[in-house]
């Protein structure tokens, strides 16, 4: 089995929605001085590679800690939508219908991960049209993954795509990377969150597991 890391490394310089959300990571003890090493770590639940719970946008919906761990692991495939433009339409996803029928996760590869840690990362990234989002809800999906900072435009106020997806209890995994390493085969996707009470979201160490060695 080959395990492919799909997560950005977390540090104080990652791309964030605004400066108020920037992680604060500092060393508070060192082996040389204290006999052990320890870090203090503070960050928002939707920083870096992370997963959105239905509770993130839907009042009374499930938080991550209320979901079975099987919700975060399953069969997945990458949909290459790099040529779709600013909106990903149903027509862009139609070629993947047979895989949608057999998989738990669709991973949207827009190519935007290449812009990580630049101002361009938060601007004009491709998003699903509302029609495409509703069409995906016809399938028995556990989640949708993507290599952008949001499933809605960064300046969206009503966040309709979040509400369509999370309202159907389908999870969203944002800020994935290294998707080109997965090819076009079906693989096992894992995006296990931290288990804390009433989690609206959580950083994850997302990975893809293939049969290649």
Instruction: Please give the average per-residue pLDDT across 171-178, as a whole number.
Output: 98
For the chain, what is the mean pLDDT?
97
**Dist CA 72 CA 50 (whole Å):** 12
User: 3-state SS of 99-138?
Assistant: HHHHCCEEEEECCHHHHCCCHHHHCCCCEECHHHHHHHCC
Is the domain covering 2-8+44-210 a CATH 1.10.510.10 domain? no
What average pLDDT does this structure show over 121-147? Answer: 98
Residue 211: pLDDT band with limits 50, 70, 90: confident
Beta strands in the chain (DSSP E): 2-5, 24-29, 38-42, 50-52, 73-80, 87-88, 105-109, 127-128, 143-146, 171-174, 187-190, 201-203, 207-210
Q: Where are the domains of the chain?
A: 2-8+44-210
Half-sphere exposure of 49 (CA within 13 A, CB side): 22
Q: Please compute the mean of the pLDDT values over residues 178-204 and round it to a whole number.
A: 97
Q: Which pLDDT does position 148 carry in this prediction?
A: 98
Q: Which among 49, 41, 11 is positioned nearest to 207, based on CA atoms?
A: 49
Q: What is the pLDDT of residue 84?
A: 87
pLDDT value at residue 213: 56
User: What is the average per-residue pLDDT within 178-201?
Assistant: 97
pLDDT at residue 146, as a whole number: 98
pLDDT of 169 > 70? The answer is yes
Determine the average pLDDT of the residues in 182-192. Answer: 96
Nearest to 64 by CA among 74, 51, 81: 51
Tokens of 182: 């997965």
> How far apart are alpha carbons 85 and 66 in whole angstroms?
37
Give the predicted TM-score (pTM) of the model: 0.96
């Amino acid at each position: 089995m080959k395990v492919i890391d799909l997560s950005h490394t977390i540090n104080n310089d990652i791309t964030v929605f605004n400066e108020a959300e920037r992680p604060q990571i500092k060393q508070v003890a060192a082996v040389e001085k204290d006999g052990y090493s320890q870090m203090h770590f503070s960050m928002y639940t939707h920083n870096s590679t992370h997963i959105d719970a239905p509770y993130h946008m839907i009042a009374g919906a499930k938080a991550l800690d209320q979901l079975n761990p099987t919700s975060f692991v399953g069969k997945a495939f990458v949909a290459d939508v790099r040529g779709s433009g600013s909106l990903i339409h149903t027509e862009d996803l139609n070629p993947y219908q047979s895989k949608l029928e057999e998989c738990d996760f669709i991973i949207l590869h827009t190519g935007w991960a290449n812009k990580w840690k630049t101002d361009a990362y938060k601007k004009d990234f491709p998003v699903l049209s509302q029609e495409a989002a509703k069409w995906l809800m016809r399938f028995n999906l556990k989640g949708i993954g993507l290599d952008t900072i949001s499933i809605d435009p960064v300046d969206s106020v009503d966040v309709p795509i979040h509400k369509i997806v999370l309202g159907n209890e389908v999870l969203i995994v944002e800020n994935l990377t290294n998707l080109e390493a997965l090819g076009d085969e079906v693989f096992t996707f894992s995006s296990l969150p931290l288990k804390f009470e009433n989690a609206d979201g959580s950083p994850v160490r997302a990975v893809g597991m293939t049969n290649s060695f």
